[in-house]
Structure 1
């Protein structure tokens, strides 16, 4: 029984890995279930056993990607000795994520007229997973006195807005330019933009 379950998990992961490659190369809409079936060397029935639909498969990949982002950030964050350093670090971590393979496919999925409202809500929910990491940095900064006391929820949303807003320019900028823009956004968040 354990062997069968392990084989099932391996099959599911193989399907996910091949689908991620295809979505990253071709985009969400241009990738068919037939192509995923062929790439994963499995049957359509096997894919539908593990994933209800192409949309559910994509959401699974998106969630895996976000959990990977969080895990990598949690490991990186231990290298920083202050909340300010962590704020710059999480901005860099976010900037590098916009070079990730699923970003274009995600934009296409989110903009799809075909996507079910509940699936779009689930995609949005998954996209909000990093908020906990942003919130943690803000709470740490307030607790240590590095940041002014304030409404943590509001500051988390503002930081999220900065990160998402700057990230929306990923296709217009080089990675170096994007990293510099993220650093500048943290500078503005910490020190403002008013002349001193």
Structure 2
């Protein structure tokens, strides 16, 4: 009778340990970058043996992919906390632009860019990375669809509009390496205003 609850608890414990290992390692990757962080560094920061780390993650690559997943989930949770503060779809789209700019200061971003550009990508990893990229899609589509239903935005294919807005926000992240956050925020807002000029209901 007790086997099932114990097994459930064990699964929860394992899931929590994985999260703890990933979050403990986040600062390490942020400081040293992906390539320069060794499994020895990861073991030291977590006070665990290699065998213990490998029990939960097959490789450093798998650990980092899991960390990216947690990072994206944190990004979404932070947005959902903010979203209720915006009344209209247009306000929410500007809010999303600000949310992107706020996240540019995330210390893990440099390591993520290094990881993505420096890996030999297998089909399995590509599929996983695409699934992570798609995490915010439903939120974007929901905002856009509601904006169209309320007459704020012109009738269109919400998915097409979502991809265009996502492309704008993602593309502008490269400004982080050449401009300060105040100027980047201004450009994000200008980009959003230019886009809205084409999709906002007159």
Runs of 4 or more consecutive aligned structure 1 residues displaced over 4 Å after TM superposition: 2-7
Q: Which residue of structure 2 aligns with residue 75 of structure 1? A: 81
Out of 93, 96, 111, the position equivalent to 1:105 is 111
CA displacement at 1:9 relative to structure 2: 4.1
Matched, 1:144 2:150: yes
Residues matched between the structures, number: 192
Matched, 1:95 2:101: yes
Out of 128, 132, 135, the position equivalent to 1:126 is 132
Matched, 1:162 2:172: no
Give the secondary structure class of the aligned counterpart of 1:85.
Answer: helix
TM-score (norm 2): 0.88
Matched, 1:185 2:185: no
Out of 23, 37, 42, the position equivalent to 1:31 is 37
Distance 1:60 1:190, change over 3 A: same
Q: Which residue of structure 2 aligns with residue 48 of structure 1? A: 54
RMSD: 1.7
Give the secondary structure class of the aligned counterpart of 2:177.
Answer: coil
Q: Which residue of structure 1 aligns with residue 3 of structure 2? A: none
CA displacement at 1:142 relative to structure 2: 0.5
Q: Deviations over 1:86-136 (max 9, x none)?
A: 010011011111221221111111111444342233123212211222212
The 1-side partners of 2:114 and 2:146 are apart by 36
The 2-side partners of 1:130 and 1:167 are apart by 16
Give the secondary structure class of the aligned counterpart of 2:86.
Answer: coil
The farther-off stretch of 128-137 and 81-90 is: 128-137
Is there any run of 5+ residues in structure 1 with no aligned partner, and where? none
The 2-side partners of 1:64 and 1:54 are apart by 15
The 2-side partners of 1:159 and 1:190 are apart by 10
TM-score (norm 1): 0.90
